[in-house]
Chains A and B, each alone.
Chain A
């Protein structure tokens, strides 16, 4: 009996402790959620151009993945030198998105966030009201060299809810098909510029006994980005607005004639046995290694590929890049871009410094440093000819600047629809479903989210 009482007492104590713990967190939330007025005030008094620079505290969160962190460290230390009074905190690392999640939930957010890597999704952050509306800021904003930001961007900020901008693309790249130029020369194969050439090359490749197209079956968004999406835009007469319609979940945008045409092309590859039968079970590393070892001729991927695989590239391998193959003869190439964006938190405590950092970072000089340090492209029209950016990036840049290329808008699908699209595509490429079911699944997924 006594023991029971004691245990009961213990339980009561436990509950008290728990509620105290919860109360503590809650009050922490409220404090964290309310922007601390003082630093912002001081900062705005001084202004960005004052000799003393910004003051108060400034926190930036950035994911460290394929692009490394040397560019960030360099730019942030430059920003620090320009604002010696500002106390800068860097929250960075390969798991930073998960590490910072509790703070985002509690409203204790950093000021600026680079949205990249697993566990980050800009559409979801916007839906959750985590990002600041930058529409007005971007209309006027100039960088520290006095250039208007929107004038020097390659890809304009994605418009949400029709006209609102919440993010600014920092990294710009393109999906596409990659091949080994040296291998193609040796075999006498021609790099295709349209669909019939692509099919013809595939026949030749297949006849030589290797697979024509290998892809990352565990991550079907690679083949979506590198083949299916550009086929949809090509099927739409080169008009990329269809991707925006899909991102806006418009009814019928996943089953129109453009989509039908694109899926028919995928089915043609399946029927002719041009997709590596093992690809369905491969992750990106497996698929890329096999492609580097000439087990297949083409692989859909993004411009980061060369950098990512730099340690495993065999001697004499020459990266070739084709943005799209689905277009008819004489039609424009389609570039399906991807971006990684930077944004200011809705609950940023030092908005002034956050904006100043964006203006400081988006310069042509920093864009060149980005290309040199990461091997990828920053979303700024900068002349890379004399830089150490990789050849494949320069080749892609030539496509972006060409008259015969259409750059599609960046469209970010809702996560549920994105997953449905990946599942449907992998089922389609293994011949397990027909094109009709692909369209039905996507229309159903979009309808469910619209509700």
Chain B
């Protein structure tokens, strides 16, 4: 066997199985999903009526889709800002600043990642409970009348109330990612910066931030993608999209339509919308976040 033939065999052995699984578990469901979106199908029978673009026309006219897309991007923006700010701060604090009990904090902040999202949802439902919850009891300490705000029940507070648990649950993972990035920065760079008289803030801006930018970029993209695809779980456990559809996100509306109202074709159309928006958002973000890569000498 020639060198190139061996190389080729080597490639095939590694690539082909992965490619086959990719086709079976990613490509095929996507194609099938797009196909179903052109049908009127209840999801409970073999009968499917081809209706062309009717589902897409309905999608454009459906006011709840607008709410859902808005809510999804509210979570995306809120989570990116909230998680990145806090995760970066904590990561710098436990690596660069001389904080007491660094390792304890690392473990503490990571704990929410070990807990199932379902448990997080249930826990936070208790926090927000209007009559027995921690939040209202705490606020009542400062008011003469008992606070009875239904945090998850009022349209203007419900989405905000869904955002905090999402941020809380996300910080730990991205913090670990950023800690790893910071630890890989050679100590000499900081020593040099110290000798030049750079303050901690200056060091952060000129050394830490540029050198961990790749990881931050990956983190941001990951938050965006997981939010657009996965905000469903927390929403479903905490509000089921209610009251009156005010906390519906695309994933929960897809579930509602497909499995509660038996419009699987329309649900598939919402799925296509999620796919398209995720792709577009990722592509745009890739461009926006592009910076010259700074390599360590």
Please say whether chains A and B are actual partners in one complex. Answer: yes
Does the CB pair A423–B245 fall under 8 Å?
yes
CB-CB under 8 A from A219, the residues of chain B are 240
User: Chain A's nearest CB lies how many Å from the CB of B112?
Assistant: 22
Does the CB pair A415–B46 fall under 8 Å?
no
Interface residues of B: mostly helix, strand, loop or mixed? loop
Does the CB pair B131–A278 fall under 8 Å?
yes
Does the CB pair A130–B45 fall under 8 Å?
yes
Does the CB pair A415–B129 fall under 8 Å?
no
Q: In the complex, which residue of chain B has the Cβ closest to the Cβ of A415?
A: B261
CB-CB under 8 A from A7, the residues of chain B are 15, 19
Does the CB pair A280–B243 fall under 8 Å?
yes
Q: In the complex, which residue of chain A has the Cβ closest to the Cβ of B21?
A: A14
Does the CB pair A281–B150 fall under 8 Å?
yes
As a 0/1 sequence over residues 120 to 148 of chain B, the CB contacts with chain A under 8 angstroms (1 = contact) are 00000100111110000000000000001
Task: Decide if A309 is an interface residue (CB 8 Å cutoff).
Answer: no
Does the CB pair A130–B132 fall under 8 Å?
no
Task: Decide if A276 is an interface residue (CB 8 Å cutoff).
Answer: yes
Cα distance A279–B154 when bound, in Å?
11
Does the CB pair A11–B8 fall under 8 Å?
no
Cα distance A219–B236 when bound, in Å?
12
Does the CB pair B256–A419 fall under 8 Å?
yes
Task: Decide if B242 is an interface residue (CB 8 Å cutoff).
Answer: yes
User: Chain A's nearest CB lies how many Å from the CB of B63?
Assistant: 12
Q: In the complex, which residue of chain B has the Cβ closest to the Cβ of A425?
A: B244
Does the CB pair A432–B244 fall under 8 Å?
yes
Residue count of chain A within 8 Å CB distance of chain B: 50
CB-CB under 8 A from A220, the residues of chain B are 242
Cα distance A51–B126 when bound, in Å?
59
Does the CB pair A124–B44 fall under 8 Å?
yes
Task: Decide if B12 is an interface residue (CB 8 Å cutoff).
Answer: yes
As a 0/1 sequence over residues 280 to 306 of chain A, the CB contacts with chain B under 8 angstroms (1 = contact) are 111100100110000100000000000
Cβ 8 A contact of A277, one of B12, B150, B242, B262: B150
Cα distance A126–B28 when bound, in Å?
31
Cα distance A11–B28 when bound, in Å?
12
Q: Which residues 5-25 in A have Cβ within 8 Å of B in the complex?
A: 6-7, 10-11, 13-14, 17-18
Q: Which residues 122-180 in B have Cβ within 8 Å of A in the complex?
A: 125, 128-132, 148-155, 158
User: Chain B's nearest CB lies how many Å from the CB of A446?
Assistant: 14
Q: In the complex, which residue of chain B has the Cβ closest to the Cβ of A119?
A: B259
Does the CB pair A218–B262 fall under 8 Å?
no
As a 0/1 sequence over residues 411 to 423 of chain A, the CB contacts with chain B under 8 angstroms (1 = contact) are 0000110010001
Q: Which residues 22-72 in A have Cβ within 8 Å of B in the complex?
A: 29, 33
User: Chain A's nearest CB lies how many Å from the CB of B250?
Assistant: 17
CB-CB under 8 A from A106, the residues of chain B are 46
Task: Decide if B201 is an interface residue (CB 8 Å cutoff).
Answer: no
Cα distance A269–B166 when bound, in Å?
36
Does the CB pair A280–B150 fall under 8 Å?
yes
Task: Decide if A110 is an interface residue (CB 8 Å cutoff).
Answer: no
CB-CB under 8 A from A105, the residues of chain B are 43-46
Task: Decide if A427 is an interface residue (CB 8 Å cutoff).
Answer: yes
Task: Decide if A127 is an interface residue (CB 8 Å cutoff).
Answer: yes
Does the CB pair A129–B244 fall under 8 Å?
no
Q: In the complex, which residue of chain A has the Cβ closest to the Cβ of B44?
A: A128
User: Chain B's nearest CB lies how many Å from the CB of A237?
Assistant: 31
Q: In the complex, which residue of chain A has the Cβ closest to the Cβ of B152?
A: A281
Does the CB pair A278–B130 fall under 8 Å?
yes
Q: Which residues 123-141 in A have Cβ within 8 Å of B in the complex?
A: 124-125, 127-130
Does the CB pair B131–A276 fall under 8 Å?
yes
Cα distance A290–B23 when bound, in Å?
51
Q: Which residues 38-94 in B have Cβ within 8 Å of A in the complex?
A: 42-47
Cα distance A130–B154 when bound, in Å?
40
Does the CB pair A2–B15 fall under 8 Å?
no
User: Chain A's nearest CB lies how many Å from the CB of B119?
Assistant: 15
Task: Decide if B297 is an interface residue (CB 8 Å cutoff).
Answer: no
Are A218 and B20 also in contact (CB < 8 A) when A129-B45, A419-B261 are?
Answer: no
Cβ 8 A contact of B8, one of A3, A29, A278, A419: A3
Cβ 8 A contact of A14, one of B20, B45, B132, B242: B20
Task: Decide if A150 is an interface residue (CB 8 Å cutoff).
Answer: no
Q: In the complex, which residue of chain A has the Cβ closest to the Cβ of B242?
A: A218
CB-CB under 8 A from B44, the residues of chain A are 101, 104-105, 124-125, 128, 130
User: Chain A's nearest CB lies how many Å from the CB of B206?
Assistant: 43
Task: Decide if B100 is an interface residue (CB 8 Å cutoff).
Answer: no
Does the CB pair A128–B42 fall under 8 Å?
yes
CB-CB under 8 A from A282, the residues of chain B are 129-130, 153
Cβ 8 A contact of A218, one of B46, B240, B261: B240
User: Chain A's nearest CB lies how many Å from the CB of B173?
Assistant: 28
CB-CB under 8 A from B240, the residues of chain A are 218-219
Cα distance A101–B44 when bound, in Å?
7
CB-CB under 8 A from B149, the residues of chain A are 278
Are A280 and B129 also in contact (CB < 8 A) when A124-B42, A415-B262, A432-B244 are?
Answer: no
Q: A10-B12, A427-B244 are in contact. List 8 more A-B contacts (CB 8 A).
A: A14-B20, A125-B44, A217-B150, A218-B240, A277-B130, A279-B150, A290-B132, A430-B243
Residues of B within 8 A of A (CB): 4, 8, 11-12, 15-16, 19-20, 23-24, 28, 42-47, 125, 128-132, 148-155, 158, 239-240, 242-245, 256, 259-262
**Can you identify 13 A-B contacts, CB atoms within 8 angstroms?**
A17-B24, A104-B45, A105-B43, A124-B44, A130-B44, A218-B239, A218-B240, A278-B149, A279-B150, A281-B158, A424-B244, A426-B242, A426-B243
